[in-house]
Structure 1
C-alpha cells in the first residue's frame, strides 16, 4: 500500500503461529495510526504501542472487564437487561409494522458501560449525553477513514498538509474530552461517593500512577469499544434469527425445558443451555461486527514459512476470511449453531489455547485480544420473544454499512412475546427507563 507493507492473515494457522506464538513481535501498533493519535493525544489504549505504558494499562483495563468484576456488578447488569427487555416489549406493542432494534441495543450497551464506569445511565436516545456521544463518535470514525489517511501510504502527500482535517481532528478531540470531563466531575461531586470505575481510576491518579488524560482515555476506550461491538453483534444476530425460525424454535424448546417460563435466564444457567451457547458462538462467527481486526504492527524483521516480513509492516487479522474458510467450517455461509454444540468452554478460555481448538476469532487473537470477551448475552432476548421478519423476503445480510464496526442495512422485525409472564418478569425494576 504505497510505501507500507500490509500483511493480511486469512489463515487460522498463520494467525496462531504469528499473533499467539510470536506475540512479542506482533503486538505493537503502527505509527501510521497517527490520525487516531491526534484524536487521542497518543493516549488511546487501542493504538498504544507495545511498550511500558501498554503493560501498565493492560491489567487496569482487564481488571475492569474481567469475570470477577462483571459478577460483582451482576445486579446492576441484570437490571439493565430487564430494562432493555421492557423497552422491547413496549416497541413490540406500539410498532405494529416492526422496527429496527439497533438503537435499543445501542442504548442498553452504552448504559451498561456508563453504569460500570460512572454510576450513571441514560434514560433515552433523546437525552443529551447519548446524542452528544453518538454525534462525536460518528464524526471520529468518519475522520479516521482511509481516504483521510492517504499520506500514510504516499509520504509525498505530507508536503501538502490538510489543515482543515487537522482542525476537525482537534475540534473533535476537545469536544470528546469536554464531554468526559463533565462526566468525571459528576463522579467527583457525588457526595455519596458511590463506587465506580472512574472513582478507582481517580485514586490511581492521586497515587501518581495515572494522569488526567489517562483517566479520560481509559474511559474513552471502554465507552467507544464496549458500545458499538456489543450492539452491532445483537443487531446482526437478531436479523439472522429472524431468517431462521427453526433455530429459534430449538432455542425456545431448550429455554422452556431448562428455565421454564417464570424467570429469566441467569449467567449461572449457561452450562445448562448448550444450544443457546452454540447460537452465540455461531453468531460471532457468521455475522460478527468486525471483518478486519485493528492493525497490529511489527517492530523488527521476521521470517515465516519462507516469507520475509519486514519491520514496520501492518499485520491484520482477517476475521471474516477465517470465519468463511470452508476447510475450517463446513458450509460456512450457513448459520448452523450445531457446529459448536461440542464446545463447552468459553470463547475467552479457547482464545488462549491452540488455534485449532478455537470456536471463532471474533474477539481477535494474541496479546491484543478483546477485553470485553465475557459480555455477550442473547438468552434473555430469546426467552422473551419470537423474532419475526416483517418482510416476505429474508433479510439481506449481504447489504452492510461499513466502518470500524460492520452493521446490517436497516431492517424491520416484529418481536412477539412468547408467553404471558414476559412483561411481569421484566417489569419489577427500581429504575424506570423508556426509549
Structure 2
C-alpha cells in the first residue's frame, strides 16, 4: 500500500516538516516507497543499503536532475553543478569546481580558514564582552563561512558582520532555501501554473537577478584586477576567467557557478555551526568531556590545529553527532532517473525523482540506539573523514549522509570538514558556551523549507581561562 496522490500533495505541501511525514510513511510502508505529486512520480529511499544499490552502484541511471521550475529553471537557469543535467555539461562544471576543492588544493588556502576561525573567536569574545552578554551568534557564524567561500571564490573577504555583503549574501541564502524545498512549490508539479503570474515566481526571479548581479560584479572586479596587472590570489573567479574561452563558458555560466559555489558552502556550514552551538549549550556534560580532552591533549598555551585532529576523538565525535542529529538538509538534493530501472521487482521509470530521506536514515533505531538523543559517544573511535566514510563497502557503517551520496555527492565536503574542525575545536578550546537561564534553546523546531537552521537563540561565550584573551590579543 502506498500513500495516495491527494494525500501526498496535501501532506507534503502543507506540512512545515515534510521529512516527518516521510518518516511516518517509512514506518508504515517501508524504506522504499513511491507516490505521485501532480504529474511527477517520486521514489523515497530511507535505507543506506538501498542508497548504495541505486544512487552509488547504479549512478549512471540515478544521477539525473529534474528540471524543477522554480529552483533549476527560474533561479539557476539550468546551470551549475547542482542544477545541470547529468552529462557533459555537468562533468565540465564539476571538474572546474573540483580544481579548488580537492584535499590537495585546500592546503593552498588553509591559512585563510585558520585566520577566519581566529576572527570568529575574537568577534564572539568582544561582542559578548568576555562572556558577560548573551547574544545570537547567527551573523558571526554566517560571516565566518561567507569569508571562507568569498576567499576561495573571489580572493576577497568582508571586515565586519555588518558589512552589506554579509547581509545580502545571508539574505540570498535564506530566500533560496525558502523557495527550493523538493515539495513546497505546486508550480513544480502542476505545469499549467508555470504560465500564471504568482508571488513565488517573482521571488524566484528576484533571487536569480540578485545572484547574477552580486556575484557577477565580483567576478568582473577580479577580471579588472587581472587586466590591470594586479596580483590576484588563486580563486574560482580567476580560474573561470583564465579558462573561459577554452571551456566555452558564457557570463551566466560563470556567475551561476561562482554564486552557487558560494551560496551552498555558506548555508550548510553556517547551519551546522549554529546547531553545534545550540546543542552544546544545552548539553553541558558533553562540553565538560570535550574540555577535558582538549586540556589533556592540546593544553592551554595554544589552540588546536589540523594536526591535532587525530588525537582528539571526542571532539571529532561531537562534530559527527551534530551532523547526524541536525543535518542542514533532511532530504538530499533530488536525483532523477535517466532510464527505466527495476529494483527487487519494483519498476522505476525514467524521469522519476529519487530522494534520499536523510531524516529517516539519521534517526533509525536499527543503526543508532536512542536516535533522538545528542550522544557523541556513538562516534567515539571513528577516525574516518566523511569523505572516507562515504566510500565504505558496508553503507550501514557510514557516519551520516549530510553530504549526499553517489556521483553527485557534495564536491565541497572536504572544505566543509576542514572549516568545521577549526571552528568547533577552537570554540570548545576557548569558551564555555552557556544557555541563558530562563531561555531554553528550542532543539525541536527550525526555520527553512529546504535547509534547516535553529530558531533564533542566545548564548554566552565565557572564556575558559586567561590564555584565551592573551592569545586573541597576541594574534591582533
Q: Select 1:365's aligned residue among 386, 405, 408.
A: 405
Equivalent positions of 1:422-433 (< 5 A) are 422-429=468-475
1:111 — aligned with what?
Answer: 147
CA distances 1:113-149 after superposition (whole Å, capped 9, x unpaired): 1012212111223222222223333444444457873
Which is further off, 131-140 or 331-340?
131-140
Number of matched pairs: 429
Output the aligned Cα RMSD: 2.0
2:315 alignment counterpart: 276
Of 16, 21, 42, the residue aligned with 2:52 is 16
Alignment of 1:413-424 (within 5 A): 413-424=459-470
CA contact (8 A) 2:45 2:51 kept: yes
Partner of 1:285: 324
Q: TM-score, normalised by structure 2?
A: 0.85
**Residue number in structure 1 paired with 2:11:** none
Q: Cα gap change, 1:208/1:361 in structure 2, threshold over 3 Å: closer, same or farther?
A: closer
Summarize the Cα distance change of 1:11–1:100 in structure 2 as closer, same or farther, 3 Å threshold: same
Structure 2 CA distance, aligned partners of 1:26 and 1:424? 53
1:317 matched residue in structure 2: 356
Q: Tell me whether 1:7 sits opposite 2:53 in the alignment.
A: no
Q: State the match for 1:334 in structure 2.
A: 373
Does residue 442 of structure 2 align to residue 396 of structure 1? yes
- For the 8 Å contact 1:118–1:183, the answer to whether it is kept is yes
5+ long unaligned stretches in structure 2: 1-36
State which of 409, 415, 425 in structure 1 corresponds to 2:455. 409
Distance 2:474 2:64 in 1: 47
What is the alpha-carbon distance in structure 1 between the residues aligned to residue 178 and residue 385 of structure 2?
34
Asked if 1:380 is matched to 2:426, the reply is yes
Query: CA 1:243–1:166 in structure 2 vs 1: closer, same or farther (change >3 Å)?
Result: closer
Aligned equivalents of 1:216 and 1:288: distance in 2? 28
CA distance in 2, matches of 1:393, 1:148: 31
Asked whether 1:344 is paired with 2:380, we answer no
The structure with higher relative contact order (CA 8 Å, sep 6+) is 1
Corresponding position of 1:226: 265
CA distance in 2 between counterparts of 1:265 and 1:112 reads 19
Residue 55 of structure 1 and its aligned partner are, at CA, apart by 1.0
Relative to 1, partners in 2 of residues 1:156 and 1:74: Cα closer, same or farther, differing over 3 Å? Answer: closer
How many angstroms apart in 2 are the aligned matches of 1:304 and 1:272?
43
Contact 1:290 1:362 in 2 (8 A): yes
Preserved CA contact (<8 Å) 2:320 2:376: yes
- Distance across 1 between alignment mates of 2:326 and 2:345: 34
Report the equivalent of 1:180: 215
SS for the counterpart of 2:80 is coil
Gaps of 5+ in 1: 431-435
| CA spacing shift, 1:34–1:97, aligned 2, 3 Å | closer
Q: TM-score, normalised by structure 1?
A: 0.93
1:114–1:427 Cα change, 3 Å: farther
Cα distance in 2 between the residues matched to 1:164 and 1:45? 27
Cα deviation for residue 23 of structure 1 reads 1.2
Question: Could you tell me how far 1:290 is from its partner in structure 2?
Answer: 1.3
Deviations 1:360-413 (A, max 9, x none): 111111111112212222101101111111134642211211222101111111
Whether the aligned pair in 2 keeps the contact of 1:33 and 1:47 (CA below 8 Å) is no
Partner of 1:433: none
CA positional deviation for 1:269: 0.9
